[in-house]
Amino acid sequence: MDHSRNTLLIKTEAKRLGFDYVGISKAEFLEEEAPRLENWLNNNMHGQMSYMQNYFDKRLDPRLLVPGAKSVISMLLNYYPSEEQKDNTAPKISKYAYGKDYHFVIKEKLNALLEFIKQNIGDIEGRAFVDSAPVLDKAWAKKSGLGWIGKNSNLINKQSGSFFFIAELIIDLELEYDGPIKDYCGTCTKCIDACPTDAIVSPHVVNGSKCISYFTIELKESIPNDVKGKFDNWMFGCDVCQDVCPWNRFSKPNTEPHFNAESGMLEFSKKDWEEITEETFKRVFKDSAVKRTKFAGLKRNIEFLK
């Protein structure tokens, strides 16, 4: 097998499908991540995200997800918007959720890439992943040289910052592998200093159960009163640690039409959000990741900000 030719074919097709960056690493046990993940879980930093405890071994070894796996192809897709919400007093939505739910958009591209590999290289086995399965996507993206893990635990790309979705194909085909790059955070602690709820407990360690994204999306019960007044007006997700990151001065608007904001959402005023009806919610967020919190959850979040 011509590893070099196959690698080039795959990377070229991934770019043609719209992925901004592609890197490949050898499918093997994530030695460095194992103790970190165990520690994070033992300290209950996953809060009520009990699914994080599931499939511990599979999270660390892609060969348990795809038997005979040889390569993990990591890809980044930019979601940085060209416009933001107009009313700066209105409750805020994380930029990743402005457009169509990224799971659908990316799954389609990944399936097309998998099909391309089968047609142009041969009968391979593989699976596509977009953060809805036990895959440590940031670890694989780091291993394949797409960036380094910042102190806010996000993957940062030297050319374009961190407003990216990460996706993988795990396949049983040997390819040429990329290596990691160095960490360029230096002594900067802007993300740690800016986090409204002090969720970044130390460099590279985020207590998920203290994160605004956790409270506004994952938590299904009432938001605890001790974080009242600390949400910096976020009603769905939070971008603070990315917005303050100096590397995001290199962010450029995405070129994926599906990520454009849903029907007039950016024009909503504070009053529009406070008076939103279930009918409007269903219309505006028909294909959006915001559906995850459901209408009742979004109303709870908006009320909590008052």
Residue recorded with tokens 């970044």: 200
Whether the Cβ atoms of residue 269 and residue 295 lie closer than 8 Å to each other? no
Choosing from 87, 131, 172, 272, the catalytic residue is: 131
SS3 110: helix
**Distances from the Cα of 146 to the Cαs of 23, 102, 150, 154, 199, in angstroms?**
6, 19, 12, 12, 25
Determine whether 131 is an active site residue. yes
Residues 188 and 199: their CA atoms lie apart, in Å, by 17
Distance (Å, whole) CA 279 – CA 8: 48
Packed helices 3-16 and 102-120: angle between N→C axes, nearest 10 degrees = 140
| CB within 8 Å of 150: residues ≥ 6 apart | 156, 162, 185, 191, 204, 245, 247
For 45-77, b/e burial (b = at least 16 CB within 10 A) is bbbeeeebeeeeeebbebeebbeebbbbbbbbb
- Asked whether 94 and 213 are in contact (CB, 8 A), the reply is yes
CA–CA separation, 86 and 261 (whole Å): 12
CA angle 273, 287, 219 (to 5 degrees): 60
As a whole number of angstroms, the distance between CA 301 and CA 231 comes to: 10
Which residues are annotated as catalytic? 131
